[in-house]
Amino acid sequence: MDIPRLASRISAVTVFASGALVARTADLSALADRPAQVRIDQLPLCLDDASLRVRIDGGAAVACDVAVALAVPPRDDRLAPPDDAELQAARLAERRLTAQVEHCEQQFGELDALAIAERPAGAEGSPPQPSPTAARLTLLSFHQQEVQRLAERRERLHEELRLATEHRGDLEAKAAAASNARQARPDELRKSAIITLLWKDGVAAASTLLVEYLVPGARWAPSYVVRFDAALAEAKVAVRAAVCQRTGEDWSGVRLALSTASALGWYELPELASRRIGRRQLRPERLGWRAPPTGAEALYADYDRDRAAQPPPSTGSAAFGAEAFVVGGVGDAPRAERRAKKREMAKDLGGAGAAMESASIAPPVGSMAAPMRPMAMPASPPAAAPMAGMAKPMAKSAAAGKARRAVAADLEERGGGGSPEVEADDDGYAEPEPAGLEPGEELLAFHALRLAGPNHAQRGKLRPAAPAELALALLVQSRITISVSVAQVLGAAVDGALQTARTGLPPGCSQPSTPQFAYLYPAELPATVPADGAWRVVTLAEQSTPVRLRHVVVPRESREVFRLAEFANPLALPLLAGPADVYLGEIFLMTSAIALTPPSAAIKLGLGVEQGITVARNTTYREDAVGMLGGSLALNHEIRISVANKLQRPAALEVRERVPVPAAGESDCKVKLGAVSPAWSPYTEEGLHDGGHRWDVQLAAGASQELAAAYTVTIPAKSEIAGGNRREI
């Protein structure tokens, strides 16, 4: 029974630092009836099967189970194979036309061989021989007419042969396409989600099926665009993201969100201990697990007895054909050891042991041998010797116990899963009960469990199926064959997706992982990101904010005045560290960098040198002898700074200066601050804590101002400051 396919589309994608969570939606109301299972096709090969999640919104049905399998596109009904008679007729017509063309070419050769004989030369001195002119003209006319007729016929036959060849080629192509429609090619393989539904009675509401899964091969990095207006009074901050993905499916018009968290992680949730009033009770098991039923081995008693009764196959017999195909076989060394143990146990049983040993040489488990004829019943055994009937019961029970152990060893060798449950014998021997299955995580994935066959080591028990068995379940059910290695195809898909991890980030960008927090950045508009592994820029959000423009100069180091724009983070989300393209209107200024900034925190961006503000710094220096008997030396320094605003607007200027500070332990050296005009304030930002000062000057358009400061350094007269007594140059 073919499982109906449900059309779906990618509605939302969340990209992590490495990997992405893809959400697909499908409309269940599009189904004509209420099938028990539906399929979501065209899923990428690199998706993580364990991450597949299904949810139904609307209440019309409940998703009971989901499984992942390989699938191919549906068969095209237009590729119906042509009729065999039509194809045979096309081939016969082509061969017939080919024969006619060859016959026409042969006639051309015969006409070329037909030539007008030359007039024979006469004997010397005799008159020339008569020449039949009419016959010659008739032959020449015939030759020309036949050549023209054959040329027209050859041209017509070549055209008919071309059409016949094309018709035959089309029919063969249709036949080949129709025969290969169920033969999957590597480029056609996709994964499919098979969802089991439980429909609710009396509910006819529209329902939406949501499928989510994780895929590798997606990355993103933050970047920004800061656009100032002409007056530098307002800025638009646009948060962008460079996204690349190679997941095997294009994201077209999806709701995109970018996260700094890890795609997969394990976190233990706190568990609060409960307090009960009353008698103590056992805590219920949280796992959805029930112990397997006991006594399942007894169901295989008849099967084991019939297998043991089969005669041993003859070596090289034609009944087995080619080499036997063993499923779940064991190695030669363990098999030899078990055979040696069986022979050792069978020696104590006499003839019965020999018969048991011969009966245990059964065909390999899962062999492709032909059915055996039932073994003929042996003749009645001879009468037992008088002493045989006087055997002790203990010996009987011991022999029976050894026989059972030999049968158990034989079953173990064939992969029967151990010996069946038996009661304790008279001699105290009891077969150990088979160990129960441990409820691991793989046994809680119920859709991936399969019941082992009678020849399996865990027969009668549920076992986790192999990944290839689960992946090929849908192809086997649809009778689709593949001629490639599934493991290689899946491995190539994952390797191709992981190539994005080796792709370098855009210039200036960094990995968006932050150990301080994990945040989600949703995009305001739908985004499109093809699966080609190239970087695409997606705009997430944009907001305007007022700007406080300042000008900073350090005339001691340089007379250049730098513009510094300061504004608050206008978005209700933190800004990660990344490059920022700065524009003044439509003019690109520079590429700066934004550090990690919380919401509403200040952002400072340098905008380069302001040519409209000039600064000049002049210093004077003199030495004076001071103190009793001139024992000290006063080093007097004066600083004069002239600033001028040549802009057409007011400007806020910050002038930074520094006064020398005595080193620790230099008690003989003292620094005294003199007159300062206008007053300045200590400057302690950016790690400068000693001697830093600044003037905050408001300059009107076209205005200028003088700044002055003085300080004196007093040292002993016999001493000198390293590097010279003059501190200002």
Axis-axis angle for helices 393-413, 301-309 (nearest 10): 90
Select from 403, 429, 464 the last residue of a domain: 464
Q: Please, what is the average pLDDT of the chain?
A: 75
Distance CA 729, CA 720 (A): 17
- Span 315-333, mean pLDDT? 32
**Tokens standing for 509?**
């960008």
Per-residue pLDDT reduced to its tens digit, 477-531: 655 666 667 777 788 888 888 888 777 888 888 888 776 678 899 998 999 999 9
Q: Are 450 and 462 in contact (CB under 8 A)?
A: yes
The pLDDT value given to residue 514: 72
DSSP track, 319-358? TT-SS---SS---HHHHHHHHHHHHHHHGGGTHHHHHHHH
Beta-carbon-side half-sphere exposure of residue 26 (alpha carbons within 13 Å) = 21
Q: What percent of the chain has pLDDT over 70?
A: 72
Most confident of 120-124, 280-284, 701-705: 701-705
DSSP 21: E
Under 8 Å CB-to-CB from 629, ≥6 apart: which residues?
A: none
Of residues 533 and 316, which shows the higher confidence score?
533
The pLDDT value given to residue 552: 93
Name the pLDDT band for 265 (thresholds 50, 70, 90).
confident
Q: Which uninterrupted H or E stretch holds 711?
A: strand 704-716
Q: Are 462 and 291 in contact (CB under 8 A)?
A: no
Q: Which amino acid is at 729?
A: I
Which residues lie across from 588 on neighbouring strands? 583
- Span 689-711, mean pLDDT? 89
- 326 domain-assigned: no
The pLDDT value given to residue 347: 47
- 660 domain-assigned: yes
Which residues lie across from 617 on neighbouring strands? 641
- Span 472-478, mean pLDDT? 64
How would you classify residue 464: left for phi > 0, otherwise alpha for psi between -120 and 50, otherwise beta?
beta
Select from 464, 486, 510 the last residue of a domain: 464
Q: Are 615 and 641 in contact (CB under 8 A)?
A: yes
**Tokens standing for 544?**
């305007």
Q: Are 20 and 171 in contact (CB under 8 A)?
A: no
The pLDDT value given to residue 334: 44
Distance CA 493, CA 673 (A): 73
Domain count, the chain: 3
Confidence check: pLDDT of 571 > 70: yes
Distance CA 234, CA 21 (A): 37
Per-residue pLDDT reduced to its tens digit, 167-210: 988 888 777 665 544 555 666 788 888 888 888 876 566 788 99
- 84 domain-assigned: yes
Per-residue pLDDT reduced to its tens digit, 600-633: 899 988 888 989 999 999 999 888 888 776 678 8
- Span 276-294, mean pLDDT? 67
Per-residue pLDDT reduced to its tens digit, 394-449: 333 344 444 445 444 544 444 444 434 434 344 443 444 444 445 666 777 776 78
- 657 domain-assigned: yes
- 34 domain-assigned: no
Q: What is the largest CA-CA distance in the chain?
A: 166
Distance CA 640, CA 616 (A): 8
- 452 domain-assigned: yes
- 634 domain-assigned: yes
- Span 690-697, mean pLDDT? 88
Of 46, 138, 41, which is closest to residue 475 (Cα–Cα)? 41
Domain of 365, in residue numbers? 334-369+393-464
Select from 464, 490, 510 the last residue of a domain: 464
In whole angstroms, how large is the CA radius of gyration of the chain? 48
pTM for the structure as a whole: 0.58
Confidence check: pLDDT of 71 > 80: no
How would you classify residue 506: left for phi > 0, otherwise alpha for psi between -120 and 50, otherwise beta?
beta
Per-residue pLDDT reduced to its tens digit, 560-570: 999 999 999 99
Name the pLDDT band for 468 (thresholds 50, 70, 90).
low
Distance CA 602, CA 598 (A): 9
Confidence check: pLDDT of 325 > 60: no
- 31 domain-assigned: no
The pLDDT value given to residue 177: 62
- Beta-strand relationship, 251-259 and 587-594: unpaired
**Tokens standing for 465?**
């199926």
Q: Are 527 and 266 in contact (CB under 8 A)?
A: no
The terminus-to-terminus CA distance of the chain in angstroms comes to: 94
